[in-house]
Chains A and B, each alone.
Chain A
Amino acid sequence: MSELIQAGSVSGKISSPEGSRSGDHGIRKDAERAKIGMWLFLMTELLLFAGLFLVYSVYRYLHNVDFHRAGLETHTLLGTLNTMVLLTSSLTMALSIAALRTGKKRLSVSFLASTILLGFVFLVVKYFEWSSEILGGIYPGSPVLLNRSNGEILFFGLYYTMTGLHGLHVIAGLAVLCFMLVLILRDKITMDDYVKLENAGLYWHLVDIVWIFLFPLFYLIN
């Protein structure tokens, strides 16, 4: 009888780590599925922006000189600054995930808070940039713009549509990141189960990638 109990306890000891390992495996599998879902969503986002890039490239081909002339009026310096801001926010995002994975919760939270702050900086710079253009009379349908050539009207139409849509994505990204910050603070996202933060990071990086392409097309036609 005692032998049986002993055998049971031994098998219990063996089966318990087995069980926890299959539990970890389950979380890992779930994380993988969640990530695949996120990537599929990101691909649809990519196609959305690709459609706009396609429109841009066709019109740029058809109105090369006008696009060049209009491109000289965008604020290259502010565009470059915003590129640096977004790239840095991508770094802090990646560092936040890396820190959480090594169990450094406070470090992860501060990196994530920096990412959110940099996102706001991006929007503030964008606000000043758009304000100066709008005050200069350049906005879709403005009398100043309508007196210009078709190519310039198209350039600024695309400029406001594409950077505007990108700006909306930044705002959505910031909302998601704030939500993630709360989840980390409440220990709903931990070093063992961090796929939500990873997926939020993927979204943020996608927003960064879209900007990487917007930047040379609207700000660097000198």
Chain B
Amino acid sequence: MEDISRTKESKQSEPTSFGIYILVWLGLISLTAVTAVVSGIDLAAFTIVVALVIALTKASLVVNIFMRVKFEDKIFKVFLGIVGFTLLVIFSLTFSDVFFRR
């Protein structure tokens, strides 16, 4: 039991190496370049979908690695889950109104 809690502690308290941060940054910069290039290609309705998928990927990299949520306690993931779910509900309810109003 003590061993388990100790492993958990060390996972949380261990600083992430510079290399991982730089790797994530390179990923973020490449995704920005990709999204800027892709925006020039006409993918009709998919243009915004592709742009948002890339934005979500970038955001999840920042949240998980830079904000260290990946290494945090479960409670922080629960927070994010609840907020994400709330936003999903608000957006779906609003759009179900907008789509079917006319």
Complex Cα–Cα for A209 and B24 (A): 14
For the complex, is A57 an interface residue (Cβ under 8 Å from B)? yes
The reply to whether the CB of A161 lies closer than 8 angstroms to some CB of chain B is no
Would you call A7 an interface residue if the criterion is a C-beta within 8 Å of the partner chain's C-beta atoms?
no
Nearest to B91 among chain A residues (CB) is A54
Q: Which of B39, B48, B59, B91 contacts A212 (CB 8 A)?
A: B59
- Name the contact of A222 in the complex, choosing from B40, B62, B95 (C-beta under 8 A): B40
Q: Known: A39-B79, A98-B21, A212-B59. Is A54-B90 also a contact (CB below 8 A)?
A: yes
Partner of B15, one of A28, A76, A102: A102
Main secondary structure of the interface of B (DSSP, over half): helix
Task: Report Cα–Cα, A133/B76, bound state, in Å.
Answer: 41
Alpha-carbon separation in the docked complex, A61 to B28 (Å): 28
How long is the Cα–Cα vector from A197 to B40 in the complex, in angstroms?
40
Of the candidate stretches A10-18, A88-96, A136-144, A182-190, the one touching chain B is A88-96
Shortest CB distance B63–A (Å): 7
Interface residues of B in 11-47 (CB under 8 A from A): 13, 15-18, 21-22, 24-25, 28-29, 32, 35-36, 39-40
Asked if A32 is at the interface (CB within 8 A of a chain B CB), the reply is: yes
Question: A107-123 CB contact bits vs B (8 Å, 1 = yes)?
Answer: 00000000000000000
- Proximity bits, B88-102, A CB within 8 Å = 1, else 0: 001100110010000
Bound together, the chains give a CA A28 to CA B9 distance in angstroms of 10
A209 touches B16 (CB 8 A): no
Known A43-B79, A58-B98, A216-B51; contact A83-B90, beta-carbon cutoff 8 A:
no
Q: Write out the residue numbers on chain A whose beta carbons fall within 8 Å of the beta carbon of B54.
A: 216
- Interface residues on chain A, number (Cβ under 8 Å): 43
Instruction: Tally A-B pairs: CB < 8 A.
Output: 104
Q: 1/0 per residue A19-35: CB within 8 Å of B?
A: 00000000010001001
A91 to B39: give the CA distance in the assembly, Å.
25
Taken together as a complex, chains A and B put the C-alpha atoms of A87 and B65 apart, in Å, by 13
- A80 interface contact, C-beta 8 A: yes
Residue A101, interface by CB 8 Å: yes
CB-nearest residue of chain B relative to A213? B55
Task: List 20 A-B residue pairs with CB atoms under 8 Å apart, sorted by A's residue number.
Answer: A32-B73, A35-B76, A46-B83, A58-B95, A62-B98, A88-B25, A90-B25, A91-B21, A91-B66, A94-B65, A94-B66, A98-B17, A208-B62, A209-B59, A209-B62, A212-B62, A215-B32, A216-B51, A220-B51, A221-B39
Binding site for A on B (CB under 8 A): 9, 13, 15-18, 21-22, 24-25, 28-29, 32, 35-36, 39-40, 48, 51-52, 54-55, 58-59, 62-63, 65-67, 72-73, 75-76, 79, 83, 86-87, 90-91, 94-95, 98
| Extra inter-chain contacts (7) besides given A91-B25, A209-B62, A215-B55, CB under 8 Å | A35-B76, A43-B83, A88-B29, A90-B62, A212-B58, A215-B35, A221-B39
